Structure 1
Amino acid sequence: MSNEKPAIMPLAPVSRVRQVADAVVDYVSRSGLKPGDRIPAERELMSALGVGRSTIREVIRHFQSLGVMETRKGSGTFLLKPISSATIHMPLSLDAVNLRDALLQTLEVRRGIEAEAAMAAARRRTAADLKVIAEKLNEMERVHLSKGTSGPEDLQFHLAIYDATHNPLFRQLLEQMREAFEKFWAEPFDRPDFARRSFPYHRTLFDAITAQDTEAARRETLKILDVVEEDIKEMSK
Structure 2
Amino acid sequence: MKEVINVEIKSVNRKTLSKQVLDEIIDLLLSGQLKSGDRLPSELELMEMFDVSRSVIREALTSLESMGIVNRKTRNGTFFSEKIGSKPFSMMLALSAGNLPSIIETRLSLELGFVTLAAEKITDKELDQLKQTIDAMSSATSDYTEIDKEFHKIIAHSASNPLLEGVITPLLNLYDRTLEQIPNRHRDSKATIQQHIDIYEALKKRDPIQSSTAMYRHLDYVRKKVLMNLNDM
TM-score over 0.5 for the pair: yes
- Where does structure 1 lack aligned partners over 5 or more consecutive residues? 1-24, 36-67, 69-79, 97-101
Q: Note the alpha carbon deviations across 1:101-126, whole angstroms, 9 max, x for none.
A: x3311111011111111111111112
SS of match in other structure, 1:166:
coil
The 5 A counterparts of 1:20-31 are: none
Residue 182 (1) aligns with residue 192 (2): no
1:129 corresponds in structure 2 to: 126
Task: Quote the offset at 1:188 in angstroms.
Answer: 2.1
Indicate the residue corresponding to 2:26 in structure 1: none
Q: Which amino acid aligns with 1:118?
A: V
Q: Is the 8 A contact 1:106 1:181 kept in 2?
A: no
Shift of 1:234: 2.2
Which of 187, 195, 199 aligns to 2:193? It is 199
How many residues align? The count is 157
- 1:210 is matched with 204
- List 4+ stretches of structure 1 deviating above 6 A: 80-83
Deviation of the 1:217 alpha carbon: 0.4
Distance 1:109 1:88, change over 3 A: closer
Is the Cα–Cα contact under 8 Å of residues 107 and 229 in structure 1 kept in the other structure? yes
Cα 1:195/1:222, change in 2 over 3 Å = farther
Identity %: 18
- 1:168, distance to aligned residue in structure 2 (A): 3.1
Contact 1:205-1:220 within 8 A present in 2 as well: yes
Superposed CA RMSD in Å reads 3.3
* Partner Cα separation in structure 2 for residue 225 and residue 175 of structure 1: 18
Aligned counterparts of 1:133 and 1:104: Cα–Cα separation in 2: 27
Matches within 5 A, 1:1-237: 32=74, 89-92=90-93, 93-94=95-96, 96=98, 102-143=99-140, 146-147=141-142, 149-185=143-179, 187-188=180-181, 190-191=183-184, 194=187, 196=189, 197-236=191-230, 237=232
Unaligned runs of 5+ in 2: 1-65
Shift of 1:201: 0.6
Pairwise CA distance, 1:173: 0.5
CA change 1:231–1:81 in 2 (3 A) is: closer
Q: Give 3-state SS (helix, strand or coil) of 1:215's partner.
A: helix
Deviation at 1:33, TM superposition (A): 8.2
The residue type paired with residue 113 of structure 2 is E
Is the alpha carbon distance of 1:119 and 1:188 closer, same or farther for their aligned partners in structure 2, counting shifts above 3 Å?
same
In 2, Cα distance between equivalents of 1:210 and 1:118: 12
Letter in 1 for 2:184: R
CA deviation map 1:40-74 (0-9, x unaligned): xxxxxxxxxxxxxxxxxxxxxxxxxxxx7xxxxxx
Letter in 2 for 1:150: Y
Deviation per CA, 1:71-108: give whole Å up to 9, x if none: xxxxxxxxx7799x957943431273xxxxx3311111
The verdict on how the C-alpha distance between 1:195 and 1:103 changes in structure 2, with shifts beyond 3 A counting, is farther
For 1:86 and 1:165, locate their aligned partners in 2 and report how far apart those are by CA, in whole Å: 20
- Would you say the 8 A contact 2:149–2:175 is kept in 1? no
TM-score computed with the length of structure 1 as normaliser = 0.55
